[in-house]
Amino acid sequence: MGQGLFSLKQDIVEVGKRMYARGYVASNDGNISARLDDNKVLVTPTGISKGFMKPEDLVVINMEGKVLSGAKKPSSEILMHLQVYKDRPDVNSVCHTHPPYATGFAVAGIPLDKCVLPEVVITLGSIPLIEYGTPGTKELYQPVTKQIKDHDAFLLANHGALTVGNDVFNAYYKMETLEHFAQIAFIAHQLGYVNTLSKEQVQKLKDQREKYGIKTTANCVPGEDNSSQEIHKPQSNLMNDDLIKRISDEVLKQIRK
């Protein structure tokens, strides 16, 4: 990676503080790792808040998960990180957190796969929902392997979110983008409308992905009509509108008596 061990430790500690400050993790949740070389990975320890880590808390392990240096135990979810590195040689860092809005979509079983924000279409493409797996076991990372070659960000059903990148900050910034998108999508659904970009608009953005050297496909779902934006109105809002109308009609009846 061309970066010294201590410098890499400082980056992970800094990202841990940012994750904690933004509320992406609570207590001792979450984990961060970085590839050192073909056979070594630097990872956050288990049982320590990501907001209060020190460089000496981090652990170096090999690709089989054996501790090579460090006094603490590595994250219990390190198997997921190691599998990502094995499946994606271009990935040098993995970030796993539980950001509220993104995790809300994960718990609701709703992927963030619509083409909505240009910045998200370019940087992430789409964020698929990965089926649930028990944390700390093979069940957690096996479903990820099905989609890892095509995506850099994932919603983990009933669990949280996962992002990968070419360095520690790149993986973390993708987590910020994911959570920001999830928050905007949530607000748009509350307002009752989500405008989806057309196929023509999306293609122009995909051309920019290639320009920036982004090689993952991660195709989001565009609107059906190339000439206009598709508008979705959630069923919950339609039900609310109907309820409001019935209440209003009843109030008018009472006034007219």
Q: What is the pLDDT of residue 249?
A: 62
Q: What is the pLDDT of residue 238?
A: 43
Q: What is the pLDDT of residue 224?
A: 75
Between these two residues, 253 and 128, which has the higher pLDDT value? Answer: 128
d(CA 136, CA 14): 25
pLDDT (tens digit per residue) in 108-146 = 999 999 999 999 999 999 999 999 989 888 888 899 999
**Tokens linked to 232:** 């979705």
**Tokens linked to 108:** 């609701």
What's the whole-number mean pLDDT along residues 186-192? 94
Buried-exposed string 63-86: b where 16+ CB fall within 10 A, e elsewhere: eeeeeeebebebbebbbbbbbbbe
d(CA 17, CA 93): 16
**Tokens linked to 49:** 């808040």
Are 79 and 138 spatial neighbours (Cβ–Cβ below 8 Å)? yes
**Percent of the residues in the chain that have a pLDDT greater than 90, as a whole number:** 77
Please give the positions annotated as active site: 77
Q: What is the pLDDT of residue 155?
A: 98
**If pLDDT is split at 50, 70 and 90, which confidence band does 225 have?**
low
pLDDT (tens digit per residue) in 64-118 = 999 999 999 999 999 999 999 999 999 999 999 999 999 999 999 999 999 999 9
**If pLDDT is split at 50, 70 and 90, which confidence band does 248 have?**
low
Q: Which residues contact 85 (CB under 8 A, 6 or more apart)?
A: 35, 41, 63, 91, 94
**If pLDDT is split at 50, 70 and 90, which confidence band does 42 have?**
very high
d(CA 257, CA 238): 29
Give me the domains of the chain, ranges plus CATH numbers.
5-211 (3.40.225.10)
